[in-house]
Amino acid sequence: MRRAGHAEWTKLRTDAGNLGLLLGVLVLTVAVGAGVALTSRCDAAGCGGDPVRLCLTGVMAGQVAVAVLAVLTVGNEYGTGMMRTTLTAVPRRPTVLCAKAAVVAAVTPAASTVSVLGSLLVGRLAAPGRGFTPEHGYPALSLTDGSTLRAAAGSVLYLTLIGLLSLGVALVVRDSATAIGIVLALLFVLPILARVVADPDWQRHLQQFAPMTAGLAVQATVGTGRLPIGPWQGLGVLALWAGAALTAGGRLLCSRDA
């Protein structure tokens, strides 16, 4: 397992495109979060805004780069035929799956942590000037606050799970473009459907079921009682999506020819 993991790490770090995608996670997450934080306002006490969630909005953009990175760890090998070489060098296919998942699960949190901390720093600096002040009921953003820490740690876990979900989908379909399309549809189409459905009960169920809306509930620090699903329960739904994708991908990896 150690040699397989080292081989996967070598493949990932020697591909210049992967470095660009990791940088993209940072840039997209911080830039979009900063844009939202700098354009949001709280003009009076009880305005109902959630400054932590606002400055972490960029996670929705950063997840695209995470998904692409995870898909390409598999899709590139199938596209070039390199997967045959990988499976010849490591005949035990569950080991190949575990090695790829371990590398994705190690690299994604590293990039995600820097991105989330950068977003919170921008939010801490910008929030007072946008009306999110103690006078309006909003103390300065700080990781010593339990809900803020949960939102930050949950966002890192969210991006990691998105990476594992994408890896599993790529193993199922074995084509990069198709896998990326499926992952993006799962993330963005289901929330759109929830908005256009007229029945409020179905809206709520779709929000509880959709991997993005459920998973990002972990970022909420204001009005958590009104969420369709609780913060950690929502992250659990995303974990089930990721687990199901990896299980399906692993079984097909073991049963199909390269």
Quickly count: other Cβ atoms within 10 Å of residue 90's Cβ: 17
Please state, in angstroms and rounded to a whole number, the distance separating the CA atoms of residues 18 and 73.
Answer: 9
User: Looking at residue 201, what is its pLDDT?
Assistant: 87
Helix, strand, coil percentages for the chain (3-state, nearest 5): 80, 0, 20
Question: Residue 62 has which token pair?
Answer: 């950063």
- Stretch 80-89: mean pLDDT, rounded? 83
pLDDT at 258 (0 to 100): 65
Question: pTM (2 decimals)?
Answer: 0.94
The pLDDT mean for the chain works out to: 91
Does residue 105 carry a pLDDT above 90?
yes
pLDDT of residue 196: 85
Give the CA angle between residues 171, 175, 177 to the nearest 5°.
125
Residue 180: what pLDDT?
A: 96
pLDDT score of 87: 79
Instruction: Specify the residue for token string 């995600």.
Output: 112
pLDDT tens track for 113-123: 999 999 999 99
Tens digits of per-residue pLDDT, 150-201? 999 999 999 999 999 999 999 999 999 999 999 999 999 988 888 888 788 8
pLDDT at 23: 94
The per-residue pLDDT for 20 is 93
pLDDT band at 224 (very low <50, low <70, confident <90, very high): confident
5-19, 86-100, 209-223: range with lowest mean pLDDT: 5-19
Beta strands in the chain (DSSP E): none
pLDDT of 135: 85
Span 234-245, pLDDT tens digits = 999 999 999 999
Q: Is the pLDDT of residue 35 over 80?
A: yes
Which residue did the predictor score with more confidence, 252 or 3? 252
Please give the average per-residue pLDDT across 67-75, as a whole number.
94
The reported pLDDT for the residue numbered 169 is 97
